[in-house]
């Protein structure tokens, strides 16, 4: 019998098509689609059995320690335990390379996927990457009532650099993009913190409400189409074009709701573009988190100098999806 498990689950960066993974969009169309990548920063979930029937939780990031009553009031913890029908004693500990809330890097979904993965291995429940993604989506969307899409859970579960398609029957198609050129582009891109955190749920709820308007639908269709055009640019190895597509996608998303950007974010973005970046975007739902810039290697240093007062996130791209790295 397995006594303990440690899972490792990546954060993600969404590059093109974000928003079309929400059911408010893809349920009215054939599918939604997103191009995204898992990154090397991750969340680690440690779980081990307890013989006394107690449920204990510790989060090293927030320095919170909770026993049964408090754990069962914590949405994701309670929902994951109930989803897997776990009644036995268990101790859960999480450690994260980055803040999992408000970063725009899908941390809340990575936590959910990682916890499901660790618990399912501990209690001998077989779940595929597809199962993990759908399970985490079900918990966040239908149990917790959050206005999330499906891409964060998919990126955390599958990993790699992928072209995702989301269908209204809850099927996820996760095609891996095997492009050494794109891997090189991503490893040269620059990611900076805006220093602002936000409630993704509030931004996504407002975005979902506006999708049905003529302007909102037009913007969402532009985001949907940007994925196919980006794949063509990747095939052609056209970095300036890829940067332009990223910029146009950001402008389309920015037009959806005033909650997505801010004067500070706009100024920070403009500094990067003026310094020579081909394009970029705010990561996640909007309102804060991180900005990514696609840059020419020849102008990369000038962009870095222009943004030197901001905190840069250094990470690798195309990391594996949620895995168990230790058990016994």
Q: What average pLDDT score do residues 20-37 get?
A: 93
The predicted pLDDT at position 53 comes to 87
CATH topology of domain 4-178+318-327: Ribosomal Protein S5; domain 2 (3.30.230)
The predicted pLDDT at position 258 comes to 76
Q: Which two tokens stand for residue 157?
A: 């579960």
Q: What average pLDDT score do residues 219-244 get?
A: 96
What residues contact 66, with CB distance under 8 A and at least 6 apart? 56, 57, 58, 74
Residue 309: other Cβ atoms inside 10 A: 8
Q: What average pLDDT score do residues 150-170 get?
A: 96
Q: What average pLDDT score do residues 166-177 get?
A: 95
DSSP 8-state symbol, 147? -
Report CA torsion sign: 37, 40, 42, 48.
positive
d(CA 215, CA 219): 6
Q: Which phi and psi (to 5°) does residue 106 adopt? A: 75, 25
What residues contact 276, with CB distance under 8 A and at least 6 apart? 295, 296, 299, 302, 303
The predicted pLDDT at position 33 comes to 97
Task: Work out the pLDDT band at 57, boundaries 50, 70, 90.
Answer: confident
The predicted pLDDT at position 196 comes to 75
Identify whether the C-beta of residue 315 lies closer than 8 Å to the C-beta of residue 191: yes
DSSP 8-state symbol, 78? H
Segments in the chain forming alpha helices (H) = 23-26, 68-71, 75-83, 107-122, 129-138, 151-158, 180-188, 200-210, 214-236, 239-254, 263-274, 300-306
pTM of the predicted structure, to 2 decimals: 0.92
Q: Which two tokens stand for residue 3?
A: 């006594």
Q: Is the pLDDT of residue 76 over 90?
A: no
Task: Work out the pLDDT band at 121, boundaries 50, 70, 90.
Answer: very high
Q: Is the pLDDT of residue 210 over 80?
A: no
pLDDT higher at 324 or 66: 324
Per-domain residue ranges of the chain: 4-178+318-327, 180-313
Identify whether the C-beta of residue 60 lies closer than 8 Å to the C-beta of residue 43: no
Provide CATH code, domain 180-313. Answer: 3.30.70.890
Task: Work out the pLDDT band at 2, boundaries 50, 70, 90.
Answer: confident
pLDDT higher at 265 or 103: 265
């Amino acid at each position: 019998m397995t006594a303990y498990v440690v899972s490792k689950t990546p954060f993600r960066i969404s590059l093109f098509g974000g928003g079309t993974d929400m059911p408010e969009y893809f349920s009215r169309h054939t599918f939604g689609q997103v191009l995204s990548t898992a990154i090397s920063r991750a969340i680690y979930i440690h779980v081990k059995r307890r013989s006394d029937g107690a449920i204990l939780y510790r989060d090293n990031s927030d320095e919170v320690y909770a026993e049964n009553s408090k754990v069962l009031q914590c949405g994701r913890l309670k929902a994951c335990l109930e989803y897997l029908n776990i009644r036995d004693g268990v101790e859960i500990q999480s450690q994260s390379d980055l803040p999992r809330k408000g970063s725009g890097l899908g941390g809340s979904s990575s936590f959910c996927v990682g916890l499901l993965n660790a618990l399912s291995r501990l209690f001998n429940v077989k779940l595929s990457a597809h199962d993990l993604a759908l399970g985490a989506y079900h918990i966040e969307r239908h149990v917790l009532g959050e206005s999330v899409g499906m891409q964060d859970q998919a990126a955390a579960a599958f990993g790699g650099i992928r072209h995702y398609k989301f269908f209204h029957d809850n099927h996820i198609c996760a095609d891996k993009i095997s492009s050494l050129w794109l891997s090189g582009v991503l490893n040269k891109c620059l990611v900076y913190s805006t220093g602002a955190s936000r409630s993704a749920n509030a931004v996504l709820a407002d975005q979902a409400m506006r999708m049905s308007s003529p302007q909102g639908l037009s913007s969402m269709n532009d985001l949907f189409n940007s994925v196919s055009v980006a794949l063509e640019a990747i095939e052609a190895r056209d970095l300036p074009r890829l940067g332009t597509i990223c910029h146009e996608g950001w402008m389309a998303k920015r037009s959806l709701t005033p909650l997505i950007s801010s004067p500070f974010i706009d100024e920070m973005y403009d500094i990067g573009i003026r310094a020579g970046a081909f394009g970029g975007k705010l990561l996640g739902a909007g309102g804060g988190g991180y900005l990514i810039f696609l840059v020419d290697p020849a102008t990369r240093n000038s962009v870095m100098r222009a943004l030197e007062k901001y905190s840069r996130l250094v990470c690798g791209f195309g990391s594996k999806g949620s895995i168990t790295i230790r058990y016994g």
